[in-house]
Amino acid sequence: MTRIALISGKGRLPHLLAQRLQASGQTPLLAEMEGFETLGTAHGTVERFRLERLVPFLDLLQDQGVTRAVFAGAVHRPRLDPSLIDPATVQLLPRIMAAMQQGDDGTLREVIALMGEWGIEVVGAQDICPELLAEPGILTDAQPVGQDKQDATRGFRILQVMGAADVGQGCIVARGQCLALEALPGTDVMLAHLADLRARGTELPAGGVFCKAPKPGQDRRMDLPALGPDTVDAVHRAGLRGIAFDAGGVMLIDRDRMVAQANALGVFLWAMDAP
């Protein structure tokens, strides 16, 4: 028996992948880490697990014939409870802790390595739904002008530096000035903070571009950045002119609704060939 496991985090993406897999006649094993419940019972029974009991979870996947796994949705590194660690997982604890000290990328690489040791290949969400990625081009009626293009280019240079330091996958640039960097709280918090600053009358350059791209050298099977209609709304509230994103490295959730929302608000969506 060959089976794929869908390991879900927060957001809309896990639902899209579950629907796609089930529509193709597959019966994925659905799983969620405790504290990041999203799927509910909409797509069937969901196995819940904790990092402290990782080995029993990997054994379960193996027993259920799982040979591939796809990770979808947002998760953060959980706080470990030593009292819950089982004897088998405790043997892996030095590896897990060392990986977590290396940041998100190091943690994800170790997860992929461990899955491989159990005979499970990790695939990307974009391998299940290739249409999540956009071809290079402008998707909207609104078009970036000269200043927007300069800001986007500068934003992508900033993201390269941020990514090398394992900091984040997004930033905001207006008239050549970096207004915000995405950190652990995420995109929504960054954009809401900028909207609040503008509402308070803080003197900031007008307009601006929200730039989004994966980190340089990132394993694109996990933690690929995503955008959706809510992001478009937040960009508009922040007073920005548009979004520039890596065409091959950023997933668009509910693309049709996202483009329609952007057109209604006069926000441009630019899928760029990352410089």
Query: pLDDT tens-digit profile of 210-224?
Result: 999 998 877 788 778
- CB-count burial class (<10 Å; 0-12, 13-18, 19+) for 168: buried
Tell me, what's the pLDDT at 99? 78
Token pair of 48 as six digits:
């819940």
Tell me, what's the pLDDT at 140? 98
Cα–Cα distance between 92 and 223 in angstroms, integer? 22
Tell me, what's the pLDDT at 79? 75
- Who wins on pLDDT, 145 or 95? 145
- Who wins on pLDDT, 40 or 15? 15
**pLDDT single digits (tens) 59-114:** 999 999 999 999 988 776 667 788 888 999 889 888 878 877 776 667 778 888 99
| Residue at token pair 């969620």 | 32
By C-alpha distance, which of 193, 182, 87, 70 is closest to 132? 70
The number of C-alpha atoms within 13 Å of 272 and in the hemisphere containing its C-beta is 28
Strand pairing category for 170-174 and 137-138: unpaired
Q: How far is CA 220 from the centre of its chain?
A: 10
Largest CA distance in the chain: 62
- Who wins on pLDDT, 111 or 260? 260
Token pair of 209 as six digits:
């571009």
Q: Span 188-202, mean pLDDT?
A: 95
Cα–Cα distance between 192 and 190 in angstroms, integer? 6
Structural domains in the chain plus CATH codes: 3-128 (3.40.50.20), 133-272 (3.40.140.80)
pLDDT band (50, 70, 90) for residue 230:
very high
The number of C-alpha atoms within 13 Å of 273 and in the hemisphere containing its C-beta is 1
The secondary structure element, H or E, covering residue 174 is strand 170-174
- Who wins on pLDDT, 102 or 239? 239
Alpha helices in the chain (DSSP H): 13-23, 54-63, 87-90, 93-101, 103-117, 125-128, 146-164, 187-199, 229-237, 255-265
Assess contact for 42 and 100: CB atoms under 8 A: no
